[in-house]
Structure 1
Amino acid sequence: MNRERTDLLETLGKHRFFLRNTTRELADADARKRTTVSALHLGGLIKHVTATERAWADFILTGPAAFDTGGDWAAWEAQHTMLETETLEELLAEYALVAARTDELIATLPDLDADQPLPAAPWFEPGARWSARRVLVHILAETSQHAGHADIIRESLDGAKSMG
């Protein structure tokens, strides 16, 4: 494997660890608690990052169809909330499966320059295309950003620090 792919895997792994580490030794009820004025909570962040990484990895392989919600915005919104029927252990296990799949893509994609058209959306430039490399960098940025959010939430919850 070349250095670029190794760097992507190592850096993404580090930021995934930071995110997962915010949930260490937490009960499910604590993972559902909102500790700031936002609606974010740790379980919901894990669930959201999992869904986001899954969708972007699908995009690398199948293009814009990976983002088709079928108009089910309630299901999309539910990906941000840890439901009473869900456990943190289950959410972390699903995240591990999605991460392993993305890592396999990073290691085996024939060409990181291969691109797909972005779906039509107000937040994307019309006609834009993203390479697999750009998508992977985006996954890394999303993971890192949400790890920072999670660190603040965890510190507000019980004073525990995850990243510093």
Structure 2
Amino acid sequence: MTQHSSVNDDRTDLLRALQEQRETFLITLRGITDAQAAHRSTASELTLGGLVRHLTSGERVWAHILTTGDGSTPEGMWDMDQYRMPEGAAVADLVAAYRAAAKATDEAVMALPSLETTARLPEAPWAPDEVHHWSGHRILLHLLRETAQHAGHADILRESLDGANTTAQLGTPGD
């Protein structure tokens, strides 16, 4: 095993791992219809469309936090509708929005002078007197965990819809 030659290697490695989790999540959306993406396939309120919308919102929120670092509350941060697929929404549009939000997050991470650069988090309604600062490193780890967790949720939802799962689709050419 060799040692990394620069701090940028850690940044690149974390972004690569995050991108892999994003792509694993997106596998669950391959070949589904808009109606399937909006359908509740388990006892949970979660839908595939709602999950992609939630992850998009999360990417936008964290890109804002990384970019501003000032503790301001990004638009839509506390929007509980982010977990639902809007009526008339198209899977292709949701995926395009997710990819754009992910790209903005990656650009915000790459613009940081260091992963140890900290950003002030917005005030949480349940803890208005607490001030938190997270490093770029911690934010990336959080995004990685959140994306992986929801990729697992999406895999269960997809399998409940039509029997497909990420493992079966990994070898699928295209997309």
Same fold at TM > 0.5: yes
Matched, 1:150 2:157: no
Letter in 1 for 2:41: T
Structure 1 distance, partners of 2:112, 2:91, is 31
* Residue of structure 2 aligned with 1:112, choices 110, 115, 119: 115
Aligned Cα RMSD in Å?
Answer: 2.1
Structure 2 distance, partners of 1:124, 1:115, is 20
Structure 2 distance, partners of 1:124, 1:151, is 36
Q: Which residue of 2 aligns with 1:161?
A: 165
* Residue of structure 2 aligned with 1:78, choices 57, 81, 85: 81
Q: Which residue of 2 aligns with 1:87?
A: 90
Show CA shifts across 1:95-132 (max 9, x none): 11111111222333212111122233236992321111
Q: Which residue of 1 aligns with 2:41?
A: 35
Structure 1 distance, partners of 2:98, 2:37, is 15
Structure 1 contact 56–66 (Cα < 8 Å) conserved: no
Choose 14-23 or 110-119, whichever is displaced more.
110-119
Choose 104-113 or 15-24, whichever is displaced more.
104-113
Structure 2 distance, partners of 1:157, 1:124, is 40
Structure 2 contact 25–154 (Cα < 8 Å) conserved: yes
Q: Which residue of 1 aligns with 2:73?
A: 66
Q: Which residue of 2 aligns with 1:18?
A: 24
Matched, 1:133 2:140: no
Gap regions ≥5 residues in structure 1: none
Q: Which has the higher contact order (CA 8 A, sep 6+)?
A: 1
SS of 1:64's equivalent in the other structure is: coil
Letter in 2 for 1:141: R
Number of residues of Structure 1 aligned to a counterpart in Structure 2 = 160
Question: TM-score by structure 1 length?
Answer: 0.88
Question: TM-score by structure 2 length?
Answer: 0.83
Change (3 A) 1:120 1:156: same
Structure 1 contact 117–127 (Cα < 8 Å) conserved: yes
Change (3 A) 1:93 1:69: closer
Structure 1 contact 115–131 (Cα < 8 Å) conserved: yes
Q: Percent identity over the alignment?
A: 43
Structure 1 contact 118–124 (Cα < 8 Å) conserved: no
Structure 2 distance, partners of 1:8, 1:143, is 13
Gap regions ≥5 residues in structure 2: 1-5, 169-175
* Residue of structure 2 aligned with 1:99, choices 99, 102, 120: 102
Matched, 1:5 2:11: yes
Change (3 A) 1:36 1:49: same
SS of 1:95's equivalent in the other structure is: helix
